[in-house]
Every structure is written in C-alpha cells, then in structure tokens.
Structure 1
Amino acid sequence: MENQRNLIWAVVLMGLLLIGWDQGVRYFYPQANKPKPVASAPANADAAPAKPTREGGLQAPADVALEAQDLKAALASPQRVAIDAPGLKGSINLVGGVIDDLTLVRHREALDKSSAPVRIFSPAGTPAQHFAQLGWLGENGLAAPNGQTVFTAQGGKLTPATPVTLSWTNPTGQTFSIRYAIDQNYLITATQSVANAGGAPVTVKPFAFVNRTDKTASLDTWQVHSGPIGAFDGSVNFATNYKDVAATGQVTPAGTPNWIGFTDIYWLSTLVPAEGSKAKADFRALGNGVFRADLVWPQTQVAPGQTQSQQVRLFAGAKENSVLESYEKQGVTNLSLSIDWGWFRWFEKPIFWLLDSLFRAVKNFGVAIILLTLIVRGIMFPVAQRQFASMAAMKAIQPKMKAIQERYKDDKQKQQQEVMALYKQEGVNPLAGCLPIFLQIPVFFALYKVLVLTIEMRHQPFGLWIHDLSSPDPLHVLNLFGLLPFTPPSFLAIGPLAILLGITMWAQFKLQPSAMDPAQQQVMSIMPWMMMFVMAPFAAGLLIYWITSNLLTIGQQRYLYARHPQLKAQADKDQQNIDRSVARDKKAVPPPANKPKRR
C-alpha cells in the first residue's frame, strides 16, 4: 500500500508538471514557430500590444505595414549619404546628421535565403524607430545644429576605405562637423569637431544618444536580458529594463561609462566614449514606448581660431562573439559580456568556443553538437568506469546491508549509523553513481545557454527537416507532421526528436540496475515519457545533444556490463525480486466491495 501511495503521488506531481509546463514554455518561448506578420494584414488599432518574441521585431500587422510604407518614403529622400560596408548597409540622413538606416548584411530575418536582411536602425517616426545622433548644445545663445539642420557632405559614400564628413556653419562663424568612418563589421567611429572662426570664444556641450522604441524589443527574461545595457567602471550592468526607465523617467547608472545603449538577445546598439573622457550617461523614457541612452560631455570653451574635437564610437550590429572580442582588443571594455552569459560564463564560453571550433571544422552545426557530445562523454568515461565499479561494490555488500536492516529495523538511527560504518569499512561511496549525472548538468546548461544566446547558432541547419537548431523541432505528430492545418499546444507538440529522446532514455533506464523500491522503479519507467513532453519545446540542437548522449550511455553501459558480469547478474536477480514483490502487492490488494443498489 505504501508503494502504491508513492506511485500515486508521483503520477500526480508529474501531471502537475506537465500541465504547468505549457505556461512556462509560452512565457520563455513565446511564438517560437509563429511566422512574422505580413504587411498586408488588416490593422486593428484597438488590439493589445503583441508580446515580444526571442527574435524581437515588430509583431502587430498594422505596424509592419506602416513601417514598410514609412521606410519607402523616408529612404527615398535625396538628402542621404549611402553606407556600404561588409557588415552594414544603409544611409545617413543629412537632416540632423542622423544614422537612422542600417541593415545587417550577414543576417536575415527568416530562414529563407530570399528573406530581407535584419534591419537594426529605422528613421524617427517609423513604428520601428531606432537611430543614433550626435550633436552639441550651444551655451550663451550660440547657434548649434539640431535635428532639423541640413548638413553638407564631403565624400560620396561611407565605406571602410572612404570616410564621410558632414559639416554646417552658423552665422557667427563656427563650423560644426562630424567625420564618420566605418570598419568591416559593425563599428562606426565618429569625430565631432567645432572650429571657431569667429571673433570671440564660444562654449559648447557635446552629446550623443541612441533612440529606440520598445516595440521591436526581444523578450526579456530572468535568464536572458533584453533592454537598456551598459558597462560602468568595467562591470556590465543588466539590472535595468524598459519598465524601470518608464517608471522613473530617468535612470543614471553609477560609475564611469565604458559604453551604453540597448540590447536584444541577438542585436546591440551602443555608444562607446573615448577612454578617459568625462562623459555622463543615463537612460531616459520619452513616452509612448520610446527610450534614449545618452552620453553628455562637460561643456568646453573653443577660443577664436581653435578647433575642439572628440571621438565616440557606435556599435550597431549582431552580437557575434568573435567580433565583440576583437573590439575588446581595441579598447572597448567587456563588450563581449553584452551576451548575457550569466554567472557561469567561465564554463559556457569554453563550451561555445569548442562548439564553434567544431562547427568551423565540419561546416554542420548538428554534427558539431554530436562531436561535442562524444568529446564530453569521452572525458567522463573514466568517471563512468568508477561509477560501475562502485555499483558493483554496492551490490556485493547488499547481503550485509539487509542483515543490518533486519537487526535494527526498530531503530532507524542505529541502522543508519551501522550502514555508514559498513560503507566506510568496505570503501564504498553510495553517491558515486550520481557523479556522472552531476557532471553532465553544467554541460547541458551551458549548451542550452549557447543555443539560446549566441547568434552563431541562429538559423543553423542540420539536415532533413531540421533547418534551425536553435528553434524547436518543427514537425509534430498530432498534426501528422504538418499535413493537418493546425498547430498543437506546446505541451503536446511532440516531434520526431522528442520521440527519439523518450525511446533512448527508456532504453537507457532499462539497462540500469533496478531500483530496490518497486514504486521508485515504476516512477523511473514513466520518467522517459514525461521528459519527452517536457523537452519537446526546447531547441532541436539540445535534443540532438541529449539523444546522442543517451545512445553513448547505452553503448557504454553494455560495455561496462561486459567488464562487470557480476553486476549484470545481480541486476537481473534484483529485477526478478522486484517483479515478485510487485506481484505480491497486487495480490494483497482486496477487490473493491460491491456498492449497495439504490432503491
């Protein structure tokens, strides 16, 4: 009866886990397989704001349609200077000297190769507005350029080989200029200068900011930050989100800014002041879901005939780890930590490095995951050998343990003391069997974070129907693998990979030495199929890792059983004993009494 109660509780708890899992998956993986809204969809002004997704971007069909319309009009203006670099394409608006048109050459919005490149910057006033602007505040009535000022460009196109200088001269003889230079990736270097050709000194206060809407923000969760971000005194600050800034109107992080801006899971836009500058930084809410990251320098006086200059860099692009690390070598402090590795980056970054290196060697990310699994299991094989040796020793002392349990069955404390003394006398560690599981947990978590965080894994195919290893398995059994026109709820979205996971886990458990408690064994027999449901919404690459690990474990267990035949024989004997115990329990349960009939 006790075993039956344990089994009932286990089934109830697993049922609660399964029911609650759907809500958790919807929170952490919203609209994982939902296509982007099309521009022709009808608008609904009263519709509630769509929940952000991991990819980010506009979600409301009305916004998508309006964005396409506004972009077409804004980018048709002749007052623009083209940007053409290997990493970025777009244009600079001469009105205000604003960088407000940037797309990422190496990344596309969807898997389809004909899909448009990811747009990171859009002009002010568009639904997806996101731009950077540099300028000056004129003191004592000085006329300085503003958002409506039309600059003059020197240079036809901004490329890595051809910088562009924008300039404007006020009526009193001060010339304000911004020289833009761009590299091969995502870094734009801007030099702001004020040349004073007037007859009196002037005072200016330089500034730079990144302005964006939260409509395009990616999902912000406890494990992956999306929102305001910056490095201050060398420490990257993930503590501020859009709600914090909206609630207070302004957030001023403590410390000297190394860089400040906004991050999504895959994209980053941030300003980097020159080392040693005295810029002050803050985040501001401008209303209607629009936010700004500011850098403001102290006011400076420019004497007649003198020129005052300063430099600021703008990173606007994808958070590619190698690119971020290359910028760190150029003096941008801890920029690679804009990838939210979390507390365990000391373990996650080596896993990422190994996985990325394998991918570069074999050119298939799924194969790289399989090779990573082989390497990890190979490293842990000596531990598994010790585990089996310990299990064999545990089996050898089972008769002594049973004798102690019988002798002290009425004194549990004394029984525990004697069992521990037996372990010490025989040199047996009862926890040795758990060590390989505990060693795999950090690897599994690190791979999970790598698949969730790193853009290098985005849109990476494996083969057959797996076109994106960072997304869940796209095929589902309940809709006959896409033949039926509906999408099952996430907790029932079982695909081929999840089924393979359940089968390999079941086969692995069947080879393990049986649990002494029949109820525990019944729970373990249910566990593989529960894990099949739980893991189905996770990234396909993670399931491939686990399936490969299970297959290797099965082969490893068969090999080690061959090395320890006494363990296999004892396991078979234990299984027979458990089967007999279960049969006795079933016979001991009295049949239900007949209920009296109602009259």
Structure 2
Amino acid sequence: MFSLDWIYYAISWILLAWHAAWDAIGVPDGAVLGTNWAWILAIIFLVVTVRVILFPVFVKQIKSQRAMQALQPQVKALQEKHKGDRETLQKEMMELYRKEKANPLMGCLPMFLQIPVFLGLFHVLRRLDPAKVNKTLYGWTVEQFESASAAKLFTAPIAGKFGSTADELARLGANGTTVKVMAGILVLVMMGTTYLTSRQMILKTGWAEDPQQRMIQRLMLYGIPLSLLVSGAIFPIGVIIYWVTNNLFTLGQQQWVLRKYPPPPSMTAKAGTAGRSTAQPAKTVGLLGRKKPEPVPPKPAAPKVAGPKPGAKPVNPKKGGPAKRRG
C-alpha cells in the first residue's frame, strides 16, 4: 500500500526547522498575548517555503492561461463547426491544445501540488494530542511534541478545531467557547480569502469561452469557498492558519505576476483593428443607425455677361424676336 509517511516527515522537518530558527533569534516560545509565536511563525513560513519551491510552476500556470485565452477564438469556431457533435469537438480541441502546446489542466496544477502539503500538515497537527503514547513519530522529540501540543493562538490550541469534542478539548486543556470563536473567525477569513484569490485571477484574465473551462472557474470562485463552511469545522486551527496565509501569499504573488505578465489585448479588439487597416473606411453612421447624408457640392456660379462697350449698339436679349422698324 502506498504510504504518505514521506510527506509527514517532510512537513515535520520544515516545521521543526523554522521553529528552531525563530527560537534561536529570540522569538518567545512561551505564550505572549495567549499566543506561542514561534510555532505560529513556523506554520506561516512553511507556506513561504512551499510557495518558493512552487513559484516556477505558478509562472507556468499564468503562461498557460494566457495561451488558453489566445486560443479562445479558435475554440469558439470549433464549437460552432461541431455543434451537436461533442465527441468530434473534444478530439478537435485536444488536437488544437496539443498543436499550440496549451494545457487546460495547468491552471489547477499549483493547487493540486499543494494538496499533499495540506494533508501532511493536517495529519501532523491532528496527532498533537497529549494522550498520544508515541510522541517521537516523524522525527519529533518528546520536548518538541509537548511544546507544539501546548501551542496556542490567542489561548486557542493550534491542534483544536471548531468540531472538537469535549474529551478532546479537555486533553488539550482548552476552553470550548474560545476554540469555537477563534476557529469560526478563521474559517470565515479562509472562505473570504479563497474567494478573493479566484476573483482576482478571473477579473484579470476574463471568463473562458470554453464551457468546461468556465465551469472550472465557477467552481473555483463559488464552490470551493462554500465547501469550506462545512469542511472548516474539522480543520485544526493550525491548518486554517496555513490556508489563510497561503491565500494571502497567493493574492500578493498573483498581483506581482499579473503586472509582470499582463493579459494580452482581447482577440476581438485585435481582429477589429486588423480589419480596419485593410478595409475601406466605413461611412459615418448617424443616430439610430441611419447614414448621414453626404454633403451636396455647391452649384457652379453662372458666368457674368459683360455689358456692351461704349458706342456699341445694345444686343436684344430676346432670341428670334421681330426686328425693329425704322421710322
């Protein structure tokens, strides 16, 4: 059977290394304002460590989303061409993605790669129970285990959760109301920051034309934050701290990357500009779509008729008239 112990050892090693680093520079390990800051900072910098490792993957995610966005006009054309033939449409789209080296799944890859870290931290913090017999599992010493199991955030143990039973709270020496209030606030912050990270990306890149991609975007924007309202009850407070920190890190990282790699101009705007450069200029259109009348050129002025010279007989303007008799 596949074992996840290597993940638990890796997470434990990073946590313990950061805790030792903060302890070495003088961050108090004892409770200040009801908080053991060395352990809280160890969790926060676990996020920093993971995100630095995954940063190249995150940049590839942004570039892949740009490529997918540039392909949207071609995807839309395929959808119109193969309307009603889903199987052929999927084959054509996969061929298009392969040809243009675009991967629709790359957008979710950083999140998928962080799932093992989240599960590893979840498992490690769940075993911070003073009643455990084996306190040296995954490379912990007894002293480190007891220090972490007593660590708190504003008097709420980092191993406690909103759904902790009375027996679990008693073993942790925690107040049930305090744990529920702190966990509840953190769950709401976790939901809000999760929503904002998805919203930030969608506002910058726009909604996808492909129905499947649009469905994934809606799931990321609404589905995952709402699911946290239920699942957050079983997350230890330390795990929620990790999630909130990860979301805040994502917001800052996305803002930086989106400035460095701004979204390209819309393909529609490009097409419109290209069409106007080669086509004849369109006639001006007035209100309600009516064409404005073209200006009528002025009639040429009638040439002036010169008057008779002095001493000359006047010319009769009437043509064909009878000649005047002489008296």
TM-score band (shorter)?
0.5 to 0.7
Aligned to 1:347: 7
Looking at structure 1, the residues matched to 266 and 225 of structure 2 have their Cα atoms a distance apart, in angstroms, of 24
Q: Does the 8 Å CA contact 1:385/1:560 hold for their aligned counterparts?
A: yes
Tell me which of 232, 247, 262 is aligned to 1:565.
Answer: 262
| Secondary structure, aligned partner of 1:512 | helix
The Cα offsets for residues 36-70 of structure 1, whole Å up to 9 and x where unpaired, read as xxxxxxxxxxxxxxxxxxxxxxxxxxxxxxxxxxx
User: d(CA) in 1 for partners of 2:218 and 2:86?
Assistant: 26
Question: How does the TM-score come out when normalised to structure 1?
Answer: 0.33
Aligned residues: 217
1:503 has 2:224 as partner: no
Whether the 8 Å CA contact 2:197–2:247 is kept in 1: the answer is yes
Is 2:226 aligned against 1:529?
yes
Q: 1:177 maps to which residue?
A: none
Within-5 A mapping of 1:348-367: 348-363=8-23, 364-367=38-41
Corresponding residue for residue 64 of structure 2: 390
Residue 459, structure 1, aligned to residue 156, structure 2 = no
Distance 1:570 1:556 in 2: 24
1:371, 1:545 → 2: CA distance? 9
1:381 is aligned, of 37, 55, 58, to: 55
Q: 1:520 to 1:373 in 2, by over 3 A?
A: closer
- Deviation of 1:431 after TM superposition, in Å, equals 1.3
Which residues in structure 2 correspond to 1:150-189 (within 5 Å)?
none
Q: 1:421 aligns with which of 95, 104, 107?
A: 95
Report deviation, 1:526: 4.8
Shift in alpha-carbon separation, 1:412–1:530, aligned structure 2, 3 A: closer
Structure-2 residue corresponding to 1:90? none
Moved over 4 A (4+): 485-488, 515-523
- Residue pair 1:493, 1:537 contacting (<8 A) in 2 also: no
Amino acid corresponding to residue 426 of structure 1 in structure 2: E
- Which residue does the alignment assign to 2:122? 448
For 2:6 and 2:183, locate their aligned partners in 1 and report how far apart those are by CA, in whole Å: 34
Report the alpha carbon displacement of residue 367 of structure 1 after superposing the two structures with TM.
0.7
Higher RCO (CA-CA < 8 Å; seq separation 6+): 2
**Cα deviation, residue 533, structure 1:** 3.3
State the one-letter code of the partner of 1:542: V
What is the CA distance between 1:508 and its match in structure 2?
0.8
Alignment of structure 1 residues 73-472 onto 2, 5 Å: 343-363=3-23, 364-454=38-128, 455=135, 456=145, 457-462=148-153, 464-466=154-156, 468-472=157-161
What is the alpha-carbon distance in structure 2 between the residues aligned to residue 411 and residue 486 of structure 1? 57
Partners of 2:159 and 2:237 within 8 A in 1? yes
| Deviation at residue 362 of structure 1 after TM alignment | 1.4
- The equivalent residue for 1:183 is none
Partner of 2:132: none
For residue 556 of structure 1, the aligned residue among 240, 253, 258 is 253
Looking at structure 2, the residues matched to 493 and 469 of structure 1 have their Cα atoms a distance apart, in angstroms, of: 10
Cα distance in 1 for residues equivalent to 2:163 and 2:231: 16
Aligned equivalents of 2:8, 2:78: Cα separation in 1? 46
Q: Which runs of 5+ in 2 are unaligned?
A: 24-37, 129-134, 136-144, 165-174, 270-327
CA distance in 2, matches of 1:526, 1:412: 26
Distance 1:387 1:444 in 2: 20
Distance between the aligned counterparts of 1:539 and 1:376, measured in 2? 19
Secondary structure of the 1:410 match is coil
Find the counterpart in structure 2 of residue 547 from structure 1: 244
CA distance 1:445–1:415, shift in 2 (3 Å)? same
Task: Kindly indicate which of the two structures has a greater share of residues assigned to strand.
Answer: 1
2-side partners of 1:347 and 1:436: how far apart? 17
Partner amino acid, structure 1, of 2:18: L
Distance 1:349 1:522, change over 3 A: closer
Q: CA deviation at 1:487?
A: 6.1
Q: Give the root-mean-square deviation of aligned CA atoms.
A: 3.1
Return the letter of the residue paired with 1:499: L
CA deviation vs aligned residue, 1:229-274 (integer Å, no higher than 9, x gap): xxxxxxxxxxxxxxxxxxxxxxxxxxxxxxxxxxxxxxxxxxxxxx
CA deviation profile, 1:84-121 (whole Å, cap 9, x unmatched): xxxxxxxxxxxxxxxxxxxxxxxxxxxxxxxxxxxxxx
The alignment-based identity, stated in percent, is 33
Normalised to the residue count of structure 2, the TM-score between the two structures is 0.59
